[in-house]
Structure 1
């Protein structure tokens, strides 16, 4: 059941009301997502204050949305495209929604005879009917622009994620079909429901907000009161490759234009993007460079006890650029792995605050 959220105004918002609003943000099942930590983060952000905030690794978009609900001028960034589209649709967008006519058009007959998804992913992930719909939907989205285009792509991405077991694309069959409605609802109907969810999420916080795609080291460090960091966690074992898990969503967000598909792979995954945050050998230097880049802002970092480096190492690194470092530990059931041996889920989530 959705929570009843009062009409947003910057003058009356509180951490509790902002967290309540964020609880209604369309939920994407995403590795490392911070939906469950929203109440704690809201209290932390309220204590810090300020007016301009950066969410440097936006992922599911929920923290960017929380910051917007708290009245910040938000810059949302991610190194993948589909999280940026989500943030453009629900954070940067202040007023546009998809009309009933827009939704009817996208879920109606195709505007052309394109069949890229039908042919490239034949027999994979979805039904024939679903793959036909995805091609047809893009035949209309290609004629859209601005926030409406972002909303349509975000709804399409969320539809595909909800329909796929566990929300990841590391397998092509239905081995994890547990009978849930989401797994059997046609994508055409998913899209109608997801579009309605994103429409409900749109609101004007009376501040300039934007969303970009890029590396954290390319973001201008000037002017942010608050910088929130939730980088990919360097795991001691296994991997944390977002491209491997969400390659289909990334490709779908651009209709695979400009993407390199690894044709020899069973899942038709995309070439992995390098990030120094993913490896034990490079994570400490990457964190130090990031902390140093945003040393003039208050830094809030989320990190998990499932990852390396450990809490004391991160505290030491952050202390190199911040004289006042606070560490908050939160017991958290953390979604990290998707396989039977992923037993690291009960963990402590740390919130580091560097002033």
Structure 2
């Protein structure tokens, strides 16, 4: 089971990459201000761009960064290398923790609600692996980058055995076959290119950029708040024990609510963001089922620079928490290019 991420551009990266071009300077960065799972940033890295990734969600930044890592950035020297590190985590001593208490059937005892995101055994393994990663970091056995990289591997493994149809917005009432498997970390392939990678977690308005950078914006299109749909991935990433509420066990997330998810705020917020970007070239991904109409967007952008709208064609829209992609024939993806 791969990551199903709302608004993912994984199926469009080949088309998108045609409009990135090559960096004009060795100091130029491709800036992905809403990085999601990192598929677009990865495509830009393959073209030789230095990468700066940002997202309001820590789990998104961790996941995206891991896709860009090369062996010299995550050597795991103190643990005998990456492969041995994965082996050690898969064999870690098991001890129940917060994920077991809050997101497995054990939650009935602790919260009065039986949550079925993970089997009890898998939840305990998530807790145990996350605890070991934290202990290694606290004892200086691994670097900050190596810590994030291992957490990304854990997120990937947890997603594979989660009892969900798509996002973590809710769990399924019946256990799926994949949820009954055993959580296991797998070694991912590392890159062999040598580029600079910068990360930040926060509002897109705060992301540093310069005139010769290329800024790519893929803001939320609809009312769906990512922080609530991926709350468990955030909790695993932070390794904390937040106060959770409701049937879904949501962690506090409203401080990460995006203005782009509100119809009355989306256009002005996006226009303001484009206006303050210093880079001369900006690319905006959007869909005709989003809050902003494409003609309204282009009218606003025309005041900021030269605008070109590129149709990327029809695409099956992902419906959160549905078992399949829902084909909707009138959903078109666009790429809007602004040159200042």
TM-score, normalised on structure 1?
Answer: 0.80
Instruction: After TM superposition, give the deviation of residue 248 of structure 1 in Å.
Output: 0.6
Change (3 A) 1:118 1:218: same
Please give the root-mean-square deviation of Cα atoms over the aligned residues, in Å. Answer: 2.6
Corresponding position: 1:36 with 2:11: yes
Q: In structure 2, what is the Cα distance between the partners aligned to 1:206 and 1:220?
A: 21
1:84 matched residue in structure 2: 61
Instruction: After TM superposition, give the deviation of residue 343 of structure 1 in Å.
Output: 5.9
Instruction: After TM superposition, give the deviation of residue 86 of structure 1 in Å.
Output: 1.7
2:150 matched residue in structure 1: 152
Q: In structure 2, what is the Cα distance between the partners aligned to 1:90 and 1:343?
A: 27
2:201 matched residue in structure 1: 213
1:278 matched residue in structure 2: 261
Equivalent positions of 1:61-210 (< 5 A) are: 61-91=38-68, 95=72, 96=74, 99-110=82-93, 113=95, 115-123=97-105, 124-142=116-134, 143-144=136-137, 145-146=142-143, 147-164=145-162, 165-175=164-174, 177=176, 179=177, 182-187=178-183, 189=184, 191-192=185-186, 196-197=187-188, 200=189, 202-210=190-198
Change (3 A) 1:337 1:224: farther
Partner secondary structure for residue 253 of structure 1: helix
Instruction: Specify which of 239, 242, 259 is matched with residue 255 of structure 1.
Output: 239
Q: In structure 1, what is the Cα distance between the partners aligned to 2:265 and 2:69?
A: 32
Between 1:92-101 and 1:316-325, the stretch displaced more is 92-101
Residue by residue over 1:283-326, the C-alpha shift from the partner in whole angstroms, topping out at 9 and shown as x without a partner, is 11111111111253211111011112111011112212112433
Contact 2:70 2:193 in 1 (8 A): no
**Which segments of 5 or more consecutive residues in structure 2 lack a partner in the other structure?**
76-80, 106-115
Q: In structure 2, what is the Cα distance between the partners aligned to 1:132 and 1:118?
A: 5
Instruction: After TM superposition, give the deviation of residue 204 of structure 1 in Å.
Output: 4.0
How many matched pairs? 311
Between 1:125-134 and 1:158-167, the stretch displaced more is 158-167
Corresponding position: 1:314 with 2:297: yes
Change (3 A) 1:100 1:93: closer
Instruction: After TM superposition, give the deviation of residue 334 of structure 1 in Å.
Output: 2.0
1:7 matched residue in structure 2: none
Change (3 A) 1:75 1:92: farther
Partner secondary structure for residue 350 of structure 1: strand
Between 1:60-69 and 1:321-330, the stretch displaced more is 321-330
1:222 matched residue in structure 2: 210
Instruction: After TM superposition, give the deviation of residue 88 of structure 1 in Å.
Output: 2.8
Q: In structure 2, what is the Cα distance between the partners aligned to 1:340 and 1:297?
A: 41
Contact 2:92 2:132 in 1 (8 A): no
TM-score, normalised on structure 2?
Answer: 0.83
Instruction: After TM superposition, give the deviation of residue 47 of structure 1 in Å.
Output: 7.4
Change (3 A) 1:286 1:48: farther
Instruction: After TM superposition, give the deviation of residue 92 of structure 1 in Å.
Output: 5.6
**Which segments of 5 or more consecutive residues in structure 1 lack a partner in the other structure?**
1-25
